[in-house]
């Protein structure tokens, strides 16, 4: 297994209605590297977002789906999501600072 650096762990935030509703409870959802563990995800969030202190991390592995296009069969990529809960005394994460 290759080493995963902290800047390679978080791929992008997940923007859905459910993840936006969780932001009010200080829960943020990210698409993460499939080989990253909870300790690496916690470290990456605290290093990438200044002032953020992580309380807990929950991960979700999704297998790739079988797809077909005509006679060609294939599979979509497997993904991993992480739901990160921040402590009460940490700063909020600014995901959309350019808006």
Q: pLDDT tens for residues 74-97?
A: 999 999 999 999 999 999 888 776
Q: What is the DSSP letter of 59?
A: E
CA 62 – CA 14 distance, rounded (Å): 14
pLDDT of residue 3: 80
pLDDT in tens, 5-29: 888 999 999 999 999 999 999 999 9
pTM for the model stands at 0.86
User: Over 70: is that where the pLDDT of 99 sits?
Assistant: no
> Cα–Cα distances in Å, from 87 out to 5, 11, 14, 78, 91?
24, 22, 20, 30, 9
Q: Residue 28, exposed/middle/buried by CB under 10 A (0-12, 13-18, 19+)?
A: buried
Tokens of 27: 């829960």
Cα–Cα–Cα angle for 19, 25, 56, rounded to 5 degrees: 85
Whether 72 has a pLDDT exceeding 80, the answer reads yes
pLDDT of residue 33 exceeding 60: yes
């Amino acid at each position: 297994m290759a080493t995963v650096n902290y800047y390679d762990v978080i791929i992008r935030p997940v923007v859905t209605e459910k993840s936006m509703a969780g932001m009010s409870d200080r829960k943020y959802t990210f698409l993460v590297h499939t080989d990253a563990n909870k300790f690496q995800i916690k470290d990456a969030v605290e290093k990438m977002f200044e002032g953020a202190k992580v309380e807990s991390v929950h991960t979700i592995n999704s297998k790739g789906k079988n797809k077909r296009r005509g006679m060609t069969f294939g599979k979509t990529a497997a993904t991993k999501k992480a739901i990160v809960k921040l402590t009460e005394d940490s700063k909020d994460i600014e995901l959309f600072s350019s808006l």
